[in-house]
Amino acid sequence: MANETTKAIQCPACNGRLSFDPVTGKLKCEFCDSEYDPKSFEMPEEEKPSGDMQALRCSTCGADLITSGTEASTRCPYCGNNTIIPGQFTGTYRPDYVIPFAFTKEQAKQKYLEYYQKRFLLPKSFLNSNEIEEIQGIYVPFWLWSGSAGIDARYHCKDETKTETEIIIKYFDVRRQGSIAFEHVPADASQRMEDDLMDSIEPYQFKNLKAFSSVYLPGFLAERYDVQESEDRKRAENRIRQTIQEQTRATIQHEQIEPVSEQIQLSFDQTQQALLPVWYLVTKWNGKTWKFAMNGQTGKFIGDLPIDTGKFALVGILIFVLSLILGYVIISLFDPDSAGLYGLIAAAVITSIWGMSAKASMKPVELKSEAHEYTKPLQLTIRTEQQTKTEHKPRPQNQG
């Protein structure tokens, strides 16, 4: 392993450590509080060092540091100096864009407290004893895709109309043909970061992309990508397909829609790299690690939380009982003989819906299946609907 020397960005006034300040958008000295425009510290590209691990020498105190092959910005554990690792962002590894941090570590901690403190279903012991093991501001590498998608789809649809004596069913053949443009559909390119956690802190506001410069990195960790573009593209493709399917089906105003065929063509015009800001938190509770992330640009905070099973069961029973009583009272006004049965069914449905909603609110982390935030409105070029037949059925006498 070659022993390189790190590059430190130091204050011209006092040689103190400079860090990027999310509040002011400037490089700020940690000792004399001097502030500098990041553009005045632009550094040229250098040759990329070889090897998966690197032996580095701190340019400030001379300590020998060992780093992984993907780290591009770090801090010396001996002198605390913020350093840039030379050559990590060169050639094909050089990002096109960066979004600087807009939130400080203190603000990230406050967002974490606000995220969990008022949740009734959280175990009380979590409120009192969970401890932040780690909180880091990380520039995470992302691939961004831009292009267009076209769709040619056919559907079988039907509508039902009920009269006093019959049910009228109308059948339709529906065709839709159209296209959408998409821009900067993201997928994280770091093996260390959980894909579902990174998806869940979206969306980013890509209108604020800045041309990449290493001057935004001091004070934060930064990584170069270790997931190839070809590996991540499938995730973007699936999201775009789902998006154009949903937007196309939304244009059909029929009660029941059955896809016959949906032919989708994707065209990727541009693939770019960006470093996006993420505050990453790890806590320990009850022998388990809990991971959280915050969008360093928008402040969106997310992470799965534990559920107090006792509270969950108690609230579920209360909702079931109240729903049963209310359902029985309302249904008995119209059908006293069936009030007990239908009241029981209504209570079970309401309780089930509450349970799924409550669990989803405590376990919100999931992979993204669509990309609506990154697409322009659907452009329809052909829109046809043809009624194929009408069917009349006698209405059963026992229907209300």
Q: Residues 3-49: pLDDT tens digits?
A: 455 555 677 777 676 778 888 888 887 777 778 777 666 655 544 44
Spatial separation of the C-alpha atoms in residues 19 and 220, rounded to whole Å:
8
Peptide bond into 203 cis (omega under 30): yes
Worst-scoring range by mean pLDDT, 41-55, 100-114, 158-172, 242-256?
A: 41-55
C-alpha separations of 190 from 56, 70, 281, 376 in Å: 22, 9, 16, 28
How does residue 71 score in pLDDT terms, banded at 50, 70 and 90? low
Boundaries of every domain in the chain:
3-93, 110-306, 309-362
Spatial separation of the C-alpha atoms in residues 249 and 232, rounded to whole Å:
27
Spatial separation of the C-alpha atoms in residues 127 and 19, rounded to whole Å:
33
Local structure of 178: helix, strand or coil: strand
CB 220 within 8 A of CB 138: yes
Structure tokens at 263: 């032919």
Structure tokens at 5: 């020397």
How does 20-37 read in b/e, with b if 16+ C-beta sit within 10 Å?
A: bbbeeebbbbeeeeeebe
Q: Residues 354-399: pLDDT tens digits?
A: 999 999 999 999 999 999 999 999 998 888 889 888 988 888 765 4
Nearest-CA neighbor of 145 among 355, 347, 333, 375? 375
pLDDT of residue 291: 93
Long-range contacts of 228-232 (CB under 8 A, 24+ apart): 228/189, 229/143, 229/189, 229/271, 232/143, 232/187, 232/188, 232/189
Structure tokens at 294: 């915050």
Q: What is the CA radius of gyration of the chain?
A: 28
CB 191 within 8 A of CB 227: yes
Please say if the pLDDT value at position 53 is more than 90.
no
Q: Beta partners for 179?
A: 150, 379
Q: Between vectors from CA 147 to CA 145 and to CA 148, what angle results, nearest 5°?
A: 135
Q: Between vectors from CA 143 to CA 138 and to CA 144, what angle results, nearest 5°?
A: 115
Q: Using the structure block, give the residue that is written with the tokens 């053949």.
A: 173
Give the chain's length.
400
How does residue 64 score in pLDDT terms, banded at 50, 70 and 90? very low
CB 82 within 8 A of CB 17: yes
pLDDT of residue 214: 83
Worst-scoring range by mean pLDDT, 47-61, 106-120, 157-171?
A: 47-61
CB 182 within 8 A of CB 307: no
How does residue 296 score in pLDDT terms, banded at 50, 70 and 90? very high
Please say if the pLDDT value at position 111 is more than 80.
yes
Spatial separation of the C-alpha atoms in residues 260 and 262, rounded to whole Å:
7
Spatial separation of the C-alpha atoms in residues 255 and 318, rounded to whole Å:
35
Worst-scoring range by mean pLDDT, 88-92, 176-180, 298-302?
A: 88-92
Q: Between vectors from CA 188 to CA 227 and to CA 211, what angle results, nearest 5°?
A: 100
pLDDT of residue 294: 97
CB 374 within 8 A of CB 244: no
Burial classification of residue 216, based on how many CB atoms lie within 10 Å of its CB (0-12 exposed, 13-18 middle, 19 or more buried):
buried
Spatial separation of the C-alpha atoms in residues 363 and 303, rounded to whole Å:
7
Average pLDDT along the chain? 85
Nearest-CA neighbor of 138 among 252, 280, 32, 22? 280
Spatial separation of the C-alpha atoms in residues 267 and 260, rounded to whole Å:
23
Cα–chain center distance at 308: 26
Spatial separation of the C-alpha atoms in residues 199 and 203, rounded to whole Å:
8
pLDDT of residue 49: 42
- What's the mean pLDDT in 163-188? 94
